[in-house]
Amino acid sequence: MNSPVKIWRNQKNIAGLVGKFGTILSWTIVRVPPGDFTDQAPYPVVVVELTGGGRITCQLVDYDEKHLVFGQNVVTIIRRVTHPDPDGVIPYGIKAKPV
Amino acid sequence: MKIYVTGAATTKFGELWGVSPRTLAHQAVGSALKDANTEASRVQALFVGNMLSGMLGGQEHLGAFFAEELGLSVPAFKVEGACASGGLALHNAVNSLVSGQYDTVVVLGIEKMTDHKPEDVATALMGAGSEEERSAGATFPGLYAILARVHMKEFGTTEEELAAVAMKNHYHASLNPNAQFRNALTVEQVMKSSRIADPLKLLDCSPISDGAAAVVLSTIRTKRSIKIAASVVATDTLGLAQRKSLTELAATRTSARRAYGKASVTAKDIDVAEVHDCFTIAEVLAMEDLGFFPKGQAARAISKGQTTVGKAKDIVVNPSGGLKGCGHPVGATGVKQAVELVEQLRGTAGKRQVQGAKVGLAHNVGGSGATAVIHIFKSPK
């Protein structure tokens, strides 16, 4: 469950993950999503190897089918994750787009 | 100290809309106690393996809930470890006997999932993943699909070979009267089923199920008891991305190594295994990480029938039908695996009996491999 406090606390972590370059290690296309994501499906979820170390699992956006390949270069960006919660707080998070 | 399974039973698994969790618990525990020829008054503690009672049913405090329902005024615990909740409950029950605290306890694995719509179940199950994975909109089929894609690239594993895992497990389930799916399946049917999370399709995935399973454990050996030779748990990162390798589940490898050591056996000694095939790729990974086949070779071996009952020479895998064929009420699965192996080692598994089975292994996984529980069972013969 989301809460305004939790979203606020996590934003500090999110800021440090924006604008990182990396490559796609593996991917899937989620066609049967969790409840909060029904209006976004189908969408790709990728595991990215970040240049300079570390890996992240995130959605791929602004993509064409040709970008769903091993080793595709991507960059992390900040995007809305799901709908605003009943308190009106918009959950933002990290996604990736091809470069 | 030696620990024995003295009684074992499962309910029917499936979409049991007319059956409540209370009824499931009565059926499983009642049958297990009868099988053990033990009175309820002999039970000193109850361990309940369950994942979703809070998120889906709104009911926590599950130990006391089922103790009351079963008329057992004894210490009672809910043990949670995602889809490994059942195996983890069994492990805790074994520990309680090893400690000398009790001499007879009951383990109940139980889950009620089909009262809720699939999106809500998918959201609840993602409670087993990492915050990062939830934020990505990942699902468990999606996470295992990510593992499948790397396995296909590294070892040439094909979608048809994965489909053969589902075909084999449905064949076994067709021989199991308590299984959710009694229908045979072809590779073509799997390949043509709707896509869930590419490259995984609907029939690569275990179903959403209701069901319960129970075992009676005791320090006292009985005529029909089966020995627990090892009970081991290992953990790994919740999220896939934080792991070194995407072609293995390290928690499975670690727990297998320790379990073989404790039971003084090797992978070659296992006659029958119940492994965690939540998705077809998961059985392939399990076969390799448990040491039954070299890395990259399990999918081909499974598709050739090398683990099918009646065909296999060395080891039969998932004679119950596995999670895919028998069904996967998540908290019940780890306990159901134990029940199946008890029947196999007693020689009472009917049409799906593995001839001459003496050593059995149960492999129960939570999440995408963050928890792995392994039990090794030995027949007294």
ipTM: 0.97
Task: Name the stretches of chain B with pLDDT < 50.
Answer: none
Rounded Cα distance between B250 and B288, Å, is 11
Please name the residue of chain A whose CA is at the shortest distance from the CA of residue B245.
A25
* b/e map A4-38, b = 16+ CB within 10 Å: eeebeebeeebeebeebebebbbbbbbbbbbebbe
Tell whether A70 is within 8 A of chain B (Cβ). Answer: yes
Q: What is the pLDDT of residues B356-367, one digit of tens each?
A: 999 999 999 999
Give the residue numbers of B annotated as catalytic, written as ranges. Answer: 83, 328
CA angle B168, B171, B172 (to 5 degrees): 90
Indicate the pLDDT class of residue A1, thresholds 50, 70 and 90. Answer: low
Q: What are phi and psi of A42, to 5 degrees?
A: -80, 150
Beta-carbon pairs below 8 A across chains A and B: 100
> What's the pTM value of the predicted model, to 2 decimals?
0.98
B200 in helix, strand or coil? strand
Longest dimension (CA), chain B: 56
A8 pLDDT more than 90: no
Indicate the pLDDT class of residue A7, thresholds 50, 70 and 90. Answer: confident
Interface test with A, best of B139, B193, B202 (most A CBs within 10 A): B139
Tokens of B260: 């073989």
How far A32 CA sits from the closest chain B CA (Å)?
6
Please name the residue of chain A whose CA is at the shortest distance from the CA of residue B197.
A30
**Sign, CA torsion A5/A6/A7/A8:** positive
One-character DSSP codes across A23-48: EEEEEEEESS--GGGTTT-SEEEEEE
Count of C-beta atoms within a 10 Å radius of residue B76? 21
Residues in chain A: 99
B35 in helix, strand or coil? helix
- Three-state DSSP string of B229-271: EEEEEEECCCCCCCCCCCCCCHHHHHHHHHHHHHHCCCHHHCC
How far A72 CA sits from the closest chain B CA (Å)?
14
* CA B36 and chain centroid, separation: 22
State percent of chain A over pLDDT 70: 98
pLDDT of residue B2: 96
pLDDT of residue B329: 98
Rounded Cα distance between B125 and B357, Å, is 34
Rounded Cα distance between B19 and B13, Å, is 11
Rounded Cα distance between B35 and B31, Å, is 6
Rounded Cα distance between B190 and B205, Å, is 10
A30 closest CB neighbour out of B139, B194, B199: B139
A93 closest CB neighbour out of B135, B141, B242: B135
* Cβ-based neighbours of B191, under 8 Å, separated by 6 or more: B159, B160, B163, B201
B140 in helix, strand or coil? helix
pLDDT of residue B139: 96
Q: Which domains does chain B show, CATH number per domain?
A: 3-117+208-218 (3.40.47.10)
Interface test with A, best of B135, B146, B200 (most A CBs within 10 A): B135
> Cis link prior to A42 (omega < 30° from 0)?
yes
Tell whether A58 is within 8 A of chain B (Cβ). Answer: yes
Contact map slice: A 10-29 vs B, CB within 8 A:
10, 25-29
Mean pLDDT (whole number) for A59-69 = 98
Tokens of B276: 């965690």
CB contact under 8 A, B136 and A57: yes
Q: B108: part of which helix (H) or strand (E)?
A: strand B104-112
pLDDT of residue A4: 83
Tell whether A89 is within 8 A of chain B (Cβ). Answer: no
pLDDT of residue B381: 66
Strand B316-317 and strand B371-378: the pairing is: unpaired
Q: Which domains does chain A show, CATH number per domain?
A: 4-98 (2.40.50.840)
